[in-house]
């Protein structure tokens, strides 16, 4: 998992990661993984499909294939999925970041809390305390809701 803490930039690195999970490193799977890891915010299936087709015409992935790829990549934990309050799944490269917690109630985009937020510090301390107790298998689920600048 430590590889995921760095942004993935090379296609070859994506291929390697995908193969290491026993999946086929198709061109579509590689561009999906690479794109999700290059974006700062979680993206929905539809956003991702738009984004991929805007990038390069050769990147176009049909809807069903994209669902399948997202499903497989999240199943092996190469990407993570987050359910928004609009009941739409969004996909992200690194869910482990405690500051990626803020969701706009209107447009359902996810935003990062400021790194210097006392809340982030508190959650990190809490997370470290749990880790020190030796129990590595836990997850903190926490969401902050509000309205982003565009929607307010």
CB 86 within 8 A of CB 108: yes
CB of 147 to Zn ion, least distance (A): 6
Q: For Zn ion, which is the closer residue by CB, 10 or 107?
A: 107
CB of 7 to Zn ion, least distance (A): 25
Tally of CB atoms within 10 A around 131? 11
Q: Give the span between the Cα atoms of 92 and 108, in whole angstroms.
A: 14
Binding site for Zn ion (CB under 5 A): 104, 106-107, 148, 151
Q: For Zn ion, which is the closer residue by CB, 84 or 93?
A: 84
Q: For Zn ion, which is the closer residue by CB, 105 or 124?
A: 105
Q: For Zn ion, which is the closer residue by CB, 106 or 121?
A: 106
CB of 84 to Zn ion, least distance (A): 11
Q: Give the span between the Cα atoms of 152 and 143, in whole angstroms.
A: 19
CB of 24 to Zn ion, least distance (A): 37
Tokens (6 digits) for 19: 């193969």
User: Which of 89, 119, 88, 87 is closest to 102 using CA atoms?
Assistant: 119
């Amino acid at each position: 998992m430590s590889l995921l803490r760095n942004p993935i930039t090379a296609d070859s690195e994506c291929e390697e990661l995908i193969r290491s999970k026993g999946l086929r490193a198709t061109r579509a799977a590689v561009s999906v993984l690479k794109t999700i890891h290059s974006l700062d915010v979680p993206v929905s299936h539809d956003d991702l499909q738009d984004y991929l087709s805007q990038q390069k015409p050769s990147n176009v992935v049909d809807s069903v294939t994209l669902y399948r790829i997202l499903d497989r990549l999240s199943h092996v934990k190469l990407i993570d999925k987050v359910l928004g309050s609009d009941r739409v799944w969004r996909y992200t490269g690194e869910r482990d970041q405690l500051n990626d917690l803020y969701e706009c109630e209107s447009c359902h985009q996810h935003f990062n809390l400021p790194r210097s937020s006392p809340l982030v510090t508190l959650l990190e301390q809490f997370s470290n305390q749990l880790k020190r107790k030796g129990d590595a298998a836990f997850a903190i689920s926490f969401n902050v809701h509000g309205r982003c600048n565009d929607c307010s």
